[in-house]
């Protein structure tokens, strides 16, 4: 298909209106992002939008109108809350969800009973709706999954050859999509933040909630209030990692990185290749530049990008919502202590990996030695252990570690009892020692719930036979005893599933190289 490039002249808009009237697809500018429009009441035309974008068919579209009263035939009822928002804001970067009327085809509403309606501020958009004589269903005019288009060139890049026409109306004013608020369920709830902020909506409606999926991801088994939330979004080809933290901490962190890019704010002192998206104090400038910056990153060939996180207030919430999705929720929080968790099964060679990390300049905290100190003569923990495991585990004030191990590792239940006593105190002491770039070497990291305090977790594993040999040689115990210890631990699959990286140390591994590669991978 030959995609026609049109301008914003009356003649071109009339031509575009005809295309839509006849069931065709036209990309057009709005004040938020470019939309890919079709007649919202024409099921066949709407289906071709999904095809051109590669969009899943259960992700509903926003219906765009030219005048406030055009909403009436589209919905069952314009509720008082809806009326209040329309009077206050329309035309605006604001989308309202209400129960739909019969004229909305299932293809437009993604099979839902509700419909999303918006009256754009952009003059060209409204002129096009008028020229086509029908409400226009329009998602953002990008290939599904890619950043939304904020310039005509972005649409040309994604949609050339797939749609009838593109109207070039210059750069979009806001650069992030409209705020989506549902009025169809109980308390008005923001499903997607945009330039009309929570504060602005609350001033009209009173209490407004924010869907939990806005700032955090959705659990695998959760159903989405807004289907669009469950899909991969705004993702450039590069891997993006969102870095939270003040300017100086961010600069210090990214300037140590090799083979990486940064996405930062104007004025950040970054020595590695980088692009900026607006200035730190101006969330509107961030919104306007973010998607273009994400697209340009791919043009530079960047593979890994550390992006400085914006604040989450006002329009910042919309920017944060988009960038955390672009990062697929991968976040490094430099405001928290920087702790890497190092764990793995007994005999996997985790201690050796810890030594390598020490030689690379990390502050490695050994939870076993913290644990040993915790159970030294005179410790208040000893009487608690005696109550649980028998008075005879302490002789002359000293803990008989072998006897405690024998009893504590005799069953899962006994191991749990030991953990309940020791873990909270060990965690507290380890965290107190974490200064700068730290690693906590903890065989029982997951059992203790310590992963919650770690920015990343690395697990070390080795084949069972290798581990057995190592334990027998190291601790001088029988094969049976070694097996008992191995079996009291979490299975290998657990470590694999719950860690950010797994380092296999089977004896033939170049551990130093593997550690460096693992660090590169997780950070
Ligand atoms: O700024 C914008 O809103 C742009 C311009 C072109 O107007 N459009 C846009 O559309 O961003 P789209 O399709 O990319 O995003 C619409 C979002 C999706 O997340 C979709 O799931 C949600 O709105 N949505 C649409 N109808 C809905 C409904 N009935 N219930 C819940 N969510 C709905
Ligand atoms: Mg979109």
Q: What is the pLDDT of residues 241-268, one digit of tens each?
A: 999 999 998 998 898 888 899 999 999 9
CA distances from 433 to 207, 233, 252, 330, 459 (A): 44, 39, 21, 26, 21
CB atoms near residue 395 (< 10 Å): 10
Cα distance between residue 133 and residue 125, in whole Å: 13
For residue 436, the model assigns a pLDDT of: 78
pLDDT of residue 485: 86
Q: Helix (H, G, I), strand (E, B), or coil: what is residue 99?
A: strand
Strand 304-308 vs strand 239-244: parallel, antiparallel, or unpaired?
parallel
Nearest CA to ligand 1 atom 32: 226
As a whole number of angstroms, the distance between CA 275 and CA 265 comes to: 8
From the CA of 116, give the closest atom in ligand 1.
26
Strands (E), 376-437: 394-395, 398-399
Q: Give 332's strand partners.
A: 243
Cβ(456)–Cβ(523) under 8 Å? yes
**CB 119 near ligand 1, within 6 Å:** no
Pick the atom of ligand 1 nearest to 227's CA. Answer: 21
Q: Using 50, 70 and 90 to split pLDDT, how confident is the model at 522? A: confident
Residue 139 alpha carbon to ligand 2 centre in Å: 5
Structure tokens at 170: 């210059």
Backbone phi and psi for residue 130, each to the nearest 5 degrees, phi listed first: -65, -45
What pairs with residue 304 in β-bridges?
A: 239
Between 3 and 334, name the one with better pLDDT: 3
Cβ burial of 476 (10 Å; 0-12, 13-18, 19+) is exposed
Quote the percentage of the chain above a pLDDT of 90.
80
Mean pLDDT (the chain, rounded) = 93
The pLDDT of 319-339, averaged and rounded, is 90
> What is the model's pLDDT at position 220?
45
Mean pLDDT of the 337-345 span: 91
Query: Can you give the pLDDT at residue 235?
Result: 79
In angstroms, what is the span from residue 14 Cα to ligand 2's centroid?
26
Q: In what order do the strands lie in the sheet with 261-264?
A: 274-276, 261-264, 304-308, 239-244, 331-333
User: Is residue 195 classed as helix, strand or coil in its secondary structure?
Assistant: coil
Of the two residues 110 and 230, the one the predictor is more confident about is 110
**pLDDT reported for residue 17:** 98
Q: Which secondary-structure segment (H or E) carries 493?
A: helix 492-498
Q: Above 90 in pLDDT, residue 105?
A: yes
Rounded CA-CA distance 234/328 in Å is 9
Query: Is-contact 107 43, C-beta < 8 A?
Result: yes
Residue 233 has pLDDT above 80, yes or no: no
Q: Is the CB of 62 under 6 A from ligand 1?
A: yes
Tens-place pLDDT, residues 196-232: 999 999 999 999 999 988 887 655 445 555 555 555 6
Find out whether the beta carbon of 181 lies less than 6 Å from any atom of ligand 1.
no
Q: Are 180 and 95 in contact (CB under 8 A)?
A: yes
**Could you tell me which residue, 350 or 219, shows the higher pLDDT?**
350
Rounded to two decimals, the pTM is 0.81
Confidence of residue 476 (pLDDT cuts 50, 70, 90): very high
pLDDT digits (tens, 9 = 90+) for 484-504: 888 878 899 999 999 999 999
Do the Cβ atoms of 343 and 420 come closer than 8 Å?
no
Q: What is the mean pLDDT of residues 35-44?
A: 98
Contacts 24+ apart (CB under 8 A), 423-431: 423/447, 423/448, 423/449, 423/450, 425/374, 425/381, 426/367, 426/370, 426/371, 426/374, 427/453, 429/370, 429/373, 429/374, 430/365, 430/367, 430/370, 431/337, 431/339
**pLDDT tens, position by position, 131-163:** 999 999 999 999 999 999 999 999 999 999 999
From the CA of 50, which ligand is nearest? 1
């Amino acid at each position: 298909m030959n995609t026609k490039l049109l301008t914003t002249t009356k003649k071109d808009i009339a031509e575009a209106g005809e295309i839509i009237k006849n069931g065709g697809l036209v990309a057009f500018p709005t004040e938020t992002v470019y939309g890919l429009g079709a007649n919202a009441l024409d099921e066949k035309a709407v289906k071709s939008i999904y095809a051109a974008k590669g969009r899943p068919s259960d992700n509903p579209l926003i219906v765009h109108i030219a005048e406030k009263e055009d909403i009436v035939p589209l919905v069952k009822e314009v509720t008082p809350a809806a009326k209040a928002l329309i009077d206050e804001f329309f035309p605006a970067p604001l989308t309202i969800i209400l129960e739909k009327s019969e004229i909305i085809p299932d293809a437009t509403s993604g099979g839902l009973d509700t419909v999303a309606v918006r009256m754009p501020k952009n003059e060209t958009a409204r002129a096009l709706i008028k020229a086509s004589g029908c409400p226009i269903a329009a998602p953002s005019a990008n290939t599904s999954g890619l950043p939304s288009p904020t310039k005509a060139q972005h649409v040309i890049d994604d949609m050339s050859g797939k749609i009838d026409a593109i109207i070039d109306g210059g750069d979009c004013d806001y650069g992030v999509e409209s705020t989506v608020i549902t009025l169809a369920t109980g308390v008005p709830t923001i499903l997607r933040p945009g330039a009309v902020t929570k504060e602005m909506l609350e001033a009209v409606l009173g209490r407004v909630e924010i869907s939990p999926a806005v700032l955090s991801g959705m659990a695998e088994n959760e159903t989405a209030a807004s289907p669009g939330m469950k899909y991969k979004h705004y993702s450039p080809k590069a891997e993006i990692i969102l870095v939270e933290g003040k300017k100086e901490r961010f600069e210090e962190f990214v300037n140590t990185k090799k083979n990486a890019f940064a996405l930062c704010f104007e004025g950040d002192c970054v020595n590695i290749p980088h692009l900026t998206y607006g200035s730190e104090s101006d969330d509107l400038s961030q919104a306007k530049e973010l998607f273009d910056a994400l697209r340009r990153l791919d043009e530079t060939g960047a593979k890994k990008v550390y992006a400085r996180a914006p604040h989450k207030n006002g329009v910042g919430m919309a920017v944060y919502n988009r960038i955390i999705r672009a990062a697929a929720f991968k976040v490094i929080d430099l405001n928290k202590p920087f702790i890497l968790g190092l764990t793995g099964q007994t005999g996997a060679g985790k201690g050796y990996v810890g030594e390598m990390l020490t030689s690379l300049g990390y502050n490695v905290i050994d939870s076993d030695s913290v644990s040993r100190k915790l159970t030294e003569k005179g410790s208040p923990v000893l009487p608690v252990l005696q109550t649980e495991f028998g008075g005879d585990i302490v002789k002359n004030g000293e803990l008989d570690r072998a006897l405690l191990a024998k009893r504590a590792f005799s069953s899962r239940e006994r191991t749990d009892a030991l953990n309940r006593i020791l873990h909270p105190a060990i965690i507290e002491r380890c965290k107190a020692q974490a200064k700068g770039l730290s690693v906590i070497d903890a065989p029982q990291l997951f059992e203790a719930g310590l992963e919650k305090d770690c920015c990343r977790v690395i697990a070390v594993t080795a084949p069972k036979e290798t581990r057995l040999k190592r334990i027998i040689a190291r601790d001088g115990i029988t094969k049976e005893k070694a097996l008992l210890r191995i079996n009291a631990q979490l299975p290998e699959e657990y470590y694999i599933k719950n860690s950010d990286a797994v380092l296999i140390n089977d004896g033939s591994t170049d551990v130093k190289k593997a550690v460096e590669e693992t660090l590169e991978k997780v950070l």
